[in-house]
Structure 1
Amino acid sequence: PGAELLSPSKQTLTVLSLHVCPAEAAVTCPDREPELEVWNPGHNEENRVEIRNGRKVLLSSSATVHSIHITDGGKLVIKDDVQPIILRTRHILIENDGELHIGSELCPYQGNVVIILYGRADDGSQPNPYFGQKYLGVSKGGTLEIHGKKKLSWTFLNKTLHPGGMEEGGYYFERSWGHRGVIVHVIDPRTGAVVHSDRFDTYRAKEESVRLAQYLGRVANGMILSVAVNDEGSRNLDDLARKAMTKLGSKHFLHLGFRHPWSFITIKGNPSSSVEDHIEYQGHKGSAVAKVFKLFKAENGEHFNVSSTSEWVQDVEWTEWFEKPDKARSKDMEKLSDFKAAHPDKICRQPVDIQAMTLDGADLTTEVFYKSGHDYQFLCHGKDQTGEGCHNYRVRFLCGKSVKPKLTVTVDTNVNSTILNLADDVSSWSPGDRLVVASTDYSMYQAEEFQVLPCRTCKPTQVKVAGKAMYLHMGEVVDGVDMRAEVGLLSRNVLVMGEMEQQCYEYSSKLCSFFDFDTFGGHIKIGLDFKATHIEGLELKYMGQQTMGHYPIHFHMAGDVDEKGGYNPPTYVKDTSIHHTFSRCVTIHGSNGLLVKDVVGYDALGHCFFTEDGPEERNTFEHCLGLLVKPSTLLPSDRDSRMCKLITEGAYPGYIPKPRQDCSAVSTFWIANPHNNLINCAAAGSEETGFWFVLHHVPTGPSAGMYSPGYSEHMPMGKFSNNRAHSNYRAGMIIDNGVKTTPASAKDKRPILTLISGRYSPHKDADPLKPREPAIIEGFIAYKNQDHGAWLRGGDVWLDNCQ
């Protein structure tokens, strides 16, 4: 090979200058409004703040207060600053033309702000009759505008992620029989790239030893050398090659013997940098390994690890079980030769280990006594065993296979890190952000979290994360089915979170018998006649409570929240992550026309994306991702079998729960009215089901009387297009069942909202006297759901291009 292959690489760096013209920020950025007065209330948990009578304030530093009430034209704006702002409060109530602004649509918030909602359920504070405790509440006339940085919400893996293994950018080399001799790799220290490699069969010919010495001499100083022996390399190794390797820093190559494993890594010209391992071995005594590794720093600041392993490998396996041979006459010990005679060619010459057990399955301890040659005897110790041989037993032997050579060289350019190859441009994701990679197996618990690391060499569709995967996550189409794992962004620069206790405490019946952690988180609730609510770029963490009506985001009896209700621009929740939540993700209750788009819901208790009573219509869930959805205590449909048996409030005396019939339905998308839209959504792991269309014969709760009996069972389906479901315990999708809409009675002892039978039959205008109107399930993908891909009961449900 020419010297140009063995010299450090040369790189040319082109620097581009970008000139960005400042926008007219004052026009669109709420914190630039000239009427704002700077407000720094300090830290006082007794400070009950009132922002009213047209007062407009700018919070420009961290603060702790008891509560904040924004009303009568008051306005609170969070300053966009390079310094993080942490606002800690029991609650924030916005009403009567009060406003809270964090950024705007045209001026997204660029700094970092955290709103912490604190307090215990049992701390004696008086809850608000409508909002409760630990809330951000928007009531009549209130405005809530939260607009964080614009970031990609979620995407797909575009290359399979293997557990613990090498990832993009690494090098892996493995050889066994047929590749004898000394194998050399030349590695560029600037990049970690292997620039050349060669094999020298110094067992076969002395000429190969000369060629090895010449090759090493041509390698430029500063290059990394990885040198190792595979199989045998000493027979025709002459002094010229041995001395050349010694000059590089080797202390053992001079004494390399027949079939000795040997590995060596050095920097040419720096013998003190060498690492080396050498084992004296003859090739027939089991496994032996010589392994070295060394960490290097590339010119871009990233680290890479070079490792080399030279070994002899002996695989082992257990034989079948053998009972004591009939002709065995041993009075004191059992003989291996008796078993070999009784079972010719089934037991190896020299077993590595022995196991014995009684015929009825009880383990026995064996004591082995070696004899001359290849025979040995053994005693059994255990119940009913004596010193006169083994009784009533069977035995098996661990046998070693023939040894084989193995050489492995790796260059791991991601030391304790991993490169994720993704389907979309993720350059908006930043170091420090947290991600979740969905399971692509039957268990949703194979979802894994990662933290983003700096990566100077990543492409726009790549991101570097700390650590290695524990599970396999698919990143490809398999047999025509798109089985790529979803990858969701959890971190946002605007964070609203609950302040939590270290352990569970009882604020609702039997809570701590189901959970060993505090579940009394914060919540956001938007009520009827709010003035405006637009949420995007928000992270919600430790939100929701195990009590009815307190969810991370909750639109409660708000009616039409789009143009039909006079909202322009229409109300939306976009680009939001909701994770480690204690009660649902997004709840739509008695509200219509809400856009929920690019929302990630992860690690939630109870139905994640939840429509509640039955009258909710025209809401759109677009490109939403839900995963790791677990049972909750709130509704029978949220509960698992144990909860179903222990929680019987609302049941008639004598009720005997049937968990699989009455409960056990927790779902990522719980749709109580078919006339809603689900587009490009993913249900990537629930204790029960991904998408569940459930039927309310009549509306329940505060929505009672909003439609006539049977209306929802005949309501045409909204758009259901290009959705996917996997890793769900029961099914990818279910269209079946209703919920019980009457209280428990002697006739039917089940509590209200337990599951009952139901059948979907869509008709035009939800009128059973008018023509049927088919429900179209378009482009649905379901894989690795334990019971069903889809369970559909009813009439005129059409599947189009589904897998």
Structure 2
Amino acid sequence: ARSILLEDGGALHVGSENCPYRSKAIISLYGKATEGASVEGYGKKFLGVGRGGILELHGRKPRSWTLLAKTLYPGGLRHGRYVSEKRWSSRGLNVCIVDAGTAQVMAADRFDTHLFVDEGRRLKEFLVHQAPGSVVAMAVGDSAAKSLTLETRLFLRSLLHSKSILHLQHRQPWALIGILGDDASSTVEDAEPSQGNRTSRLVMAAKDFKTYEGSSFRITAYSGWIKGVPHHGFKVEMSEGIILDLVDEVTSWLPGEEIVIASTDYSMHQAEAFRLLPCSECQSNQVKIDGNPLYLHMGEIVDGVDMRAEVGILTRNILIQGEMEDSCYGPNHCQFFSFDTFGGQIKKNFTSVHMAGVELKHMGQQILGSYSVHFHLTGDVDERGGYSPPSYLDNLAIHHCFSRCVAIHGANGLLVKDTIGYDTLGHCFFLEDGTEQRNTFHHNLGLLTKAGTILPTDRNEAMCLALRENVHGDYIPVPGTDCMAVSSFWIANPNNNLIENAAAGAQDVGIWYIFHRVPTGQSEGQYPTGQSELTPLGTFYNNRAHSNFKAGLFLGKGVKTSKASAENPREYLTVDNARFRPHQDADPRKPRAPAVIDGLIAFKNNDHGAWARGGDIVFRNCGFADNGIGLTLASDGTFPIDEGCSLEVTHSIFVGESNNVGSQGGRNSYWGRGAGGEYRTLPRNKSFPIRGFQIYDGPVRLTKCTFRKFTPTADRYASAIGFFMKNAWQISPQNNVSLVKIEKSVGLRVFLGQPGQWFGDNNSDGDKVAIFHDLDGSVTGFPDTFVGRLDNYLIRHPGCLIVTRWNGMICAGKYAQLYIQARRPENLTLSIARAAYHSHPLRLQGVHKGVSYQQYQPVVMLEQAYIVQWDGRAPEDVILYPINFNRGDWLHVALCYPKGTVFTVVGDLYQRRTGRARGVTRYAAASSYLRVVNERNERLFYFDDASGYLFVHLQAHEARKGHSYCSQHGCERLKITAQMPSGLPWSCTLNPFLEKDVGKQPPWRIQERAVHCTQCGAPWVQYQILLCSQILTFSFIAQVDDEVFLFHDRGILFLVLDACSGLILSRQHFDTDSFTEVAALATSYVETSVQESLAMLGYKGKPKPSWIKILNQAADQKPASLQYYVPLMLREYRCSRAVSQADLHVTKWTHYLRSCYGMSPVTAITF
């Protein structure tokens, strides 16, 4: 049909909720953008549901998506597909050695047995040194017979059971595959009678094998002459059809259907689609795919973070599709798209709509309001709106569509569940006007979300610069700030629920909470100004975000809610500033309502794992890995707008460079060496400074978190904790860290930057005053200390410890902030120095340009004297705020002015929310500066006309609570108005304070070291096995938390670990050297000691966890080393109690096994 419209009692039913449709149903919408008339309110090429219309589509509901349970490697094999083909320059016997258990090519060589007799002896030595059980693939290149001696031929016949080698002739094609140490039945070979340089075919030997992990693969060797040219080669590749192991049962996925596997790397373009093949040998959680993957798709929990790739089914038995032209045409933005983007659309303003088990393909148009699925101004669609059952979208597959996935516009209470959005244009799951509330997104998957043209926030750089019809005048948009925000989940009101969704690849952001200061579009006027920024966050639980460029999760910013004008020429709905500050009932007079981000997994995002700015926001039970920056928490550049608020991350893990090394290609731009020397994909570029937790503004808290694998390289810095770069704004000394665990794999705990790429000159105001409080010493080793920048003499004292690698220092002391506002003029550089270090001033540029006042916000040590000067004539108005001062905290301040200046000095309490001041007190002029510094309870000032300094005593008289920068009564401040004579100089001496008045040198010297912290870090159970060389004479040691197991006898050590609790249940050593019945003893032990399932490097029991590992090494090779984080309490273990995702822990397994002090190789099996 060109269109279908249901209204006034019209209904379309396919199946029902209780009786889903089982056959195939297809609705095809056809038509071109340039043909026919539009229907008012709907447009063209649509399935519309008007008032009084009913749409009920209920198809078969397969499991929508799950996760890989075992890693899928490029080509399907852990070590990749191997192909070697040669023509000339390969004369002789060509040999390839393959490990039958891993499909890894272990060695390859050529032996010219045509010309050289010694090559036969070298061939024998080569084969003798290969491990028993290795696969030997051999093929003749050109000719191999002339100097191949009878002795060598007999050796090969005996070793590999060849039937043809004795009679191999000049230029005779021959290929063989055999197994060292096996019988003749394991050998396959093929030969063709010699015909000189002509053969009728390539001879080929091929044999199938299965890896330790259960993957079937084929080894092929071939040889022959084609058109007078010799050919030979080897292939190691998956057998036809790769079997995927999945976390969940997928018997509802059928042969011929299409699946998509998400990227687990930085580029979303590594998502890959495959057709399913019949698979009689598959288990209920397995499927077989047609084709070979190009990229690495993780199926493991890596370094404690769940990086298992999402796998979704794209086929449904009810299909709604748009019929498309072969290429772009007409007014369809063909400068950006080579393909037709005028698809079908479903638009709903209805009596009842329920869709389940439906596939949508080639839907959506690059036209405002013409989306794949569009709920348009429907109001409440749940019980509040009188709908029973409430409207829902369940188990939809929306793919290869041209405008969004699901657009919710002026609709509330909609359930969107088990829905996939793959390869679409513009924001995928999209809330439009900012009024949409109480909608629930549960277990949806968005991936490969690309830019579109409709809104500024949909657009990429080229679109942003080209589409300027709606800007004012000649304004040229700035793509990085006005546009470039396309997201898989665009949440325009915080009062919505996101539960167990996956944002698995968007051009910009995975999940973006964006704020509309006022409702926009057709919803204008529906709530008061600023309400959405005050609205509490709905449920955010166990969502995943990876393979996005800007951020996995972005919580902050807004859209411009005014039309383009001369005052603000940017387009309507471009990205703008906003501050999220949730309060109960969206009322700022009521208590704050902390926004909780629970269980976020963010990995392989180029820039940020997550960014959050606003009021009370708490991240807990989160995992951040392989992001450019793991997490940034930011409040505001001066004061937090929401007084007393703070941001926190707790019970979370940060990983710098995980064992997921990624894959080249798929638009990954950067490939280089990691900290361990391995090649891997990299975020941003090779020199980008990786940070786990980034501090910005404040106050922010980091507690009960674990950091691992942040190690700098020659090309880049990598630190567990860092600071926002090129920061012109404040950094609060209330920023604090406690109970963190920084593992030995972290090479740089803290880094405060240095001049160079990415850091610029590292000379902005915020760069200079960077600071945080280490409450318990879990970062520095010294409790109740502060970390600040090395060259900041406002906080430095003789007791500080210098840490050059950090460009920082560790200082004990009392610190706060001095907030300075300056007017008339507003363009001066401030110089502030502590009197004790008056020759080391800190110069601050301020943050504002071209506004009514300038501001500066240095961090200061309390109970000290400070000197303030300017690089020009002093401002006429200066306001000093003692912020983050507790009652009784004080400073002496001397400010430089021209001689003859007359002052008015007034103190008051300023209430920022109302803009009112109270308690106004006029300061009196003192007779000497000694009265000012000694009579601290008096409100006095003194101007020394000889030196040019105005002396004031700045003290907090009100109590401050919690994280508030000021007291609950308001911010105490001192307002200085100066009437300066013209024409007089303003330079002052360096230090006007006498030695006894500069403030006592603080007595703090760092001596006490933090004790070992058993409660630090996220709740991960560690399991560690160390190298024998590290523990003297012991060849093996295992440590689980604080319990150590020593093992130095030959044999097998069993450790039984409960996969539900992480506890060691049992241990037993079996001496394989002395007892011949060890197998029976071990079997009996396993059967009696383990009541349920048993995990080795393999696994006993029905499920097959993704963490099964096996590694073999010869005695003379490097130690066999396996390291893995084994998840505890997974659902498939069927633990006795119900376990929430928040309880998920992992156990770290590290194995180092080797022969020590002449002993035979040790075998270790761990459970």
Report the TM-score, using the length of structure 2 for normalisation: 0.45
8 A Cα contact 2:173 2:191, kept in partner: no
| Secondary structure of the corresponding residue to residue 248 of structure 2 | coil
**Residue number in structure 2 paired with 1:98:** 10
Q: Aligned equivalents of 1:458 and 1:795: distance in 2?
A: 51
CA distance in 1, matches of 2:529, 2:186: 87
**Alpha-carbon distance in structure 1 between the residues aligned to 2:382 and 2:366:** 30
Question: Residue 550 of structure 1 is aligned with which of 370, 373, 376?
Answer: 370
Following TM superposition, by how much is the alpha carbon of 1:770 offset from its aligned partner in structure 2, in angstroms? 0.9
Q: Residue type of the partner of 1:129?
A: E
Give the conservation status (yes or no) of the 8 Å contact 2:376–2:408. yes
Cα separation, 1, equivalents of 2:32 and 2:139: 66
Q: Which residue of 2 aligns with 1:160?
A: 71
Asked whether the 8 Å contact 2:160–2:187 carries over to 1, the reply is no
Task: Pick from 418, 425, 428 the counterpart of residue 598 of structure 1.
Answer: 418
Is 1:446 paired with 2:270? yes
1:572 aligns with 2:392: yes
Instruction: Give a deviation string over 1:457-488, Cα, whole Å, max 9, x none.
Output: 11111111111001111111111011111111
State which of 298, 312, 316 in structure 2 corresponds to 1:492. Answer: 316
- Tell me if the contact between 1:693 and 1:734 (Cα under 8 Å) persists in the aligned partners: yes
Residues 134-533 of structure 1 aligned to structure 2 (within 5 Å): 134-166=45-77, 172=103, 174-176=105-107, 203=124, 228=138, 237=151, 250=164, 252-255=165-168, 263-264=175-176, 274-276=189-191, 292-294=204-206, 305-308=218-221, 414-415=239-240, 417-508=241-332, 511-527=333-349, 530-533=350-353
Letter of the 1:515 partner, please give it: F
Residue identity (%): 50
CA apart distance, 1:551: 0.6
Q: Deviations over 1:418-465 (max 9, x none)?
A: 221111111111111111111111111111111111111111111111
Output the TM-score relative to the length of structure 1: 0.64
State the AA in 2 paired with 1:455: C
Contact residue 64 and residue 420 of structure 2 kept, 8 A? yes
- Check whether the contact 1:157–1:420 (CA below 8 A) recurs between aligned residues: yes
| Aligned-partner residue type, residue 296 of structure 2 | L
Give secondary structure in 2 for the equivalent of 1:105.
coil
Change (3 A) 1:236 1:497: same
Q: Could you tell me which residue of structure 2 aligns to residue 115 of structure 1?
A: 27
* CA root-mean-square deviation: 3.9
Distance apart, 1:98 and its partner CA:
1.4
SS at match of 1:637: helix
Q: Structure 1's 523 and 246: CA in aligned 2 closer, same or farther, altered over 3 A?
A: closer
Write the distance in 1 (CA, Å) between the matches of 2:539 and 2:156.
75
Q: Secondary structure at the match of 2:522?
A: helix
What letter matches 1:524 in structure 2? I
1:537 aligned counterpart, secondary structure: strand
Instruction: Give the distance between the partners of 2:153 and 2:492, measured in 1 at CA.
Output: 83
Q: Give the drift of 1:649.
A: 2.0
Contact 2:427 2:490 in 1 (8 A): yes
Letter in 1 for 2:605: N
Q: How many Å separate the matches in 2 of 1:126 and 1:227?
A: 68
- Separation of aligned partners in 1, 2:568 and 2:434: 22
Conservation of the 8 A alpha-carbon contact between 2:139 and 2:221: no
Distance in 1, Cα, partners of 2:505 & 2:533: 27
1:725 counterpart SS class: strand
Q: Distance in 2 between matches of 1:707 and 1:271?
A: 77
CA offset at residue 507 of structure 1?
2.6
Q: CA deviation at 1:294?
A: 3.4
C-alpha separation in 2, matches of 1:277 and 1:783: 54
SS at structure 2 position matched to 1:512: coil
Change (3 A) 1:278 1:595: farther
1:675 maps to amino acid: N
Q: Distance in 2 between matches of 1:243 and 1:671?
A: 70
Contact 1:243–1:254 (8 Å) recurs in 2? no
Unaligned runs of 5+ in 2: 80-99, 112-120, 129-134, 195-201, 224-232, 624-1167
Q: CA deviation at 1:720?
A: 0.4
Distance 2:76 2:216 in 1: 17
Shift of 1:644: 1.0
The whole-number CA distance in structure 2 between the counterparts of 1:750 and 1:654 is 10
Q: How far apart are 1:742 and its partner, in Å?
A: 1.1
The 1:106/1:295 distance shift into structure 2, 3 A limit, reads farther
Q: CA deviation at 1:615?
A: 0.6
3-state SS of the aligned residue for 1:164? Answer: helix
Alpha-carbon separation, structure 2, partners of 1:276 and 1:689:
58
Query: Out of 728, 746, 749, which is 2:569 matched to?
Result: 749
Query: How many angstroms does 1:308 deviate by?
Result: 4.4
State whether residues 175 and 408 of structure 1, in contact with CA within 8 Å, keep that contact through their aligned partners in structure 2: no
Three-state SS of the structure 1 residue aligned to 2:259 is: strand
Give the partner amino acid of 2:37. Q
Partner deviation per Cα, 1:389-436 (whole Å, 9 max, x = no partner)? xxxxxxxxxxxxxxxxxx9896x6622x32211111111111111111
Q: Is the 8 A contact 1:152 1:426 kept in 2?
A: yes
The answer as to whether partners of 1:202 and 1:235 remain within 8 angstroms in 2 is no
Residues in 2 aligned to 1:778 and 1:767: alpha-carbon distance in whole angstroms: 24
**Structure 1 residue ranges without an equivalent (≥5):** 1-88, 181-199, 209-224, 280-289, 311-406
Match of 2:380 in 1: 560
User: For 1:556, what is the secondary structure of its paired residue?
Assistant: strand
Note if contact 2:160-2:184 (Cα within 8 Å) is conserved in structure 1: no
Q: CA deviation at 1:253?
A: 3.4
SS at match of 1:694: strand
CA shift for structure 1 position 161: 0.9
Q: Per-residue CA shift, 1:611-646, capped at 9, x if unaligned?
A: 000110000000010011111110011111111111
1:677-711, Cα deviation, whole Å (9 max, x unpaired): 00001111111101111110110111111111111
Does the 8 Å contact 1:591/1:617 carry over to 2? yes
**Which one scores higher on RCO, CA 8 angstroms, separation ≥ 6?**
1
Query: Could you tell me which of 560, 583, 588 is aligned with 1:763?
Result: 583
Instruction: Find the residue that maps to 2:418 and give its secondary structure.
Output: strand
Tell me whether 1:589 sits opposite 2:500 in the alignment. no
Residue by residue over 1:54-77, the C-alpha shift from the partner in whole angstroms, topping out at 9 and shown as x without a partner, is: xxxxxxxxxxxxxxxxxxxxxxxx
Preserved CA contact (<8 Å) 1:91 1:117: yes
Checking the alignment, whether the CA contact within 8 Å between 1:111 and 1:493 is kept in structure 2 is yes
1:678 is matched with: 498
Question: Distance between the aligned counterparts of 2:424 and 2:578, measured in 1?
Answer: 27
Structure 2: how far apart are the matches of 1:692 and 1:467? 35
> Aligned AA for 1:254?
H
- Using a 3 Å threshold, how does the CA distance of structure 1 residues 246 and 253 change in structure 2: closer, same or farther? farther
Q: Does 1:784 align with 2:696?
A: no
Q: Distance in 1 between matches of 2:435 and 2:124?
A: 82
Amino acid at match of 2:55: L
Worse overlay, 640-649 or 608-617 = 640-649
Residue aligning to 1:735:
555
Total equivalences in the alignment: 559
2:543 to 689, 708, 723: 723
**Distance in 2 between residues matched to 1:272 and 1:794, nearest whole Å:** 69
Greater CA drift, 789-798 or 646-655: 646-655
When residues 306 and 253 of structure 1 are mapped into structure 2, their CA distance, relative to the original with a 3 A threshold, is farther
Please name the residue that 2:438 is paired with.
Answer: 618
Q: Deviations over 1:356-394 (max 9, x none)?
A: xxxxxxxxxxxxxxxxxxxxxxxxxxxxxxxxxxxxxxx
Separation of aligned partners in 2, 1:484 and 1:587: 28
Shift in alpha-carbon separation, 1:246–1:552, aligned structure 2, 3 A = closer
Aligned partner (choices 649, 668, 684) of residue 488 of structure 2: 668
